[in-house]
Amino acid sequence: MLSVKNLYTDYTDGQGRIVKAAQNISFDVPEGKLFTLLGPSGCGKTTTMRSIAGLERPTSGDISVNGNAVYSSGKGVFVAPNKRNFGMVFQSYAIWPHMNVYKNVAFPLEVGKRKFSKKEIENRVMRVLTVVGLEGFVEREATMLSGGQQQRLALARALVMEPKLLLLDEPLSNLDAKLRERMRFELKRLQRELGLTTIYVTHDQSEALALSHEIAVMCEGQIVQIGSPRDVYERPGNKFVADFVGLTNFVDAVVEGPDTDPQRYRVSSSLGQLSVYSIDPLSPGDAVLISVRPEDVELSETRPEGLNVVEGQVDFKVFLGEFIDFQIRVGERQLLARVHPSLKTEIGATIYIRMNPDKCTSIQADR
């Protein structure tokens, strides 16, 4: 549905320096899917989305929707933002404070190029307000809504034009933690039920994992990995992705040779000999990083059976309600483990670590 090919966007900053905001960005989004651009501040994700919206003119590349170009440097095509029929919701929501809920949603229909009758406007407005759960607030002033209601109002205003593509730029970042979590479920429900093709921009890893069909992780203006939420989390392609998307433990290691199972290798590390998983083929002597998520570091007070069992000592622990974070010292290094609060091992006590080889992901050390 949406196709972005070889997109470059450069601009000059206040000191006259060239900033390479987006470099060789390429991805496709099928109809009805939610695609997330995830990365830290300044990585180029918002620039990429603004280029799709037509709010920025890229340096080169191609952007098309359903096979129709909205931007092409080679063909000299640049469709104005108001003619792309894309819905947009930004971090600030940008709702009109002098209008009530109904008028906020109706306004794009009243001023748009296409003319609607009063009845058509009413039908469209009430339909989208019902979808977002604001049908009982039509006369409410926009400034009298809660943060979550304002977010849904901004979404309704974007949906009322029945856009080909919905663009969401950090739409939940102004909400408190509990409301943000609730709105994730609400957004996911609406997107799936309405079949909206959506581009979502965020720096929040948990938001991206919870909402997306597919994620593009960005760093310094480039996409460094594209994959499903599970793939990006469990099979990071490089150290940046493993470190940025959730918490992880890194262990330096050297490959000894292949293990008995396909895609598994024996490595020597500061934790001893380990069996690890690798997408890429490895050779004896290769230097690699092993990434192990805290929830995949299993703890027990008696020595368990199986591979990748290591003895350590409880250095520190933090109770966080639904889980406990343990800092385990193994020789000169520490590992973070995230376990059920039923484990009550005291600080200073001996404890055993077991790590499933399929959860110990090998990353080339220089990537």
Q: How far is 153 from 134, CA to CA, in rounded Å?
A: 8
What is the mean predicted confidence (pLDDT) over 208-230? 96
Q: How far is 254 from 307, CA to CA, in rounded Å?
A: 17
Residues 29 and 166 in one domain: yes
CATH code of the domain covering residue 336 = 2.40.50.100
Residues 276 and 161 in one domain: no
Picking from 196, 222, 242, the residue at the C-terminal end of a domain is 242
What percentage of the chain has pLDDT greater than the value 90? 70
Q: How far is 203 from 210, CA to CA, in rounded Å?
A: 13
SS (H, E, C) 120-182: HHHHHHHHHHHHCCCHHHCCCEHHHCCHHHHHHHHHHHHHCCCCCEEEEECCCCCCCHHHHHH
Residues 307 and 343 in one domain: yes
pTM for this prediction: 0.88
Q: Across 33-144, where does the E strand assignment appear?
A: 34-38, 60-65, 68-72, 77-78, 86-89
Among candidate residues 242, 182, 169, 175, the one with its CA nearest the CA of residue 210: 182
Residues 217 and 271 in one domain: no
Residues 258 and 223 in one domain: no
Residues 151 and 260 in one domain: no
Among candidate residues 198, 216, 194, the one with its CA nearest the CA of residue 87: 198
Q: What's the domain count of the chain?
A: 2
Q: What digits encode the pLDDT tens for the residues 174-187?
A: 777 887 888 888 88
Residues 194 and 310 in one domain: no
| Angle subtended at Cα 151 by Cα 231 and Cα 133, rounded to the nearest 5 degrees | 100
Residues 126 and 37 in one domain: yes
How would you list the strands of the sheet with 324-330, edge to edge?
297-300, 350-355, 309-319, 324-330, 333-339
Residues 68 and 184 in one domain: yes
290 is in which domain, residue-wise?
Answer: 247-364
Residues 144 and 226 in one domain: yes
What percentage of the chain has pLDDT greater than the value 70? 99
Q: pLDDT tier at 366 (50, 70, 90 boundaries)?
A: low
Q: Which amino acid, residue 328?
A: I
The pLDDT score that the predictor gives to residue 33 is 96
Residues 90 and 169 in one domain: yes
Residues 126 and 260 in one domain: no
Among candidate residues 111, 110, 107, 88, the one with its CA nearest the CA of residue 96: 107
Whether 88 has a pLDDT exceeding 80, the answer reads yes
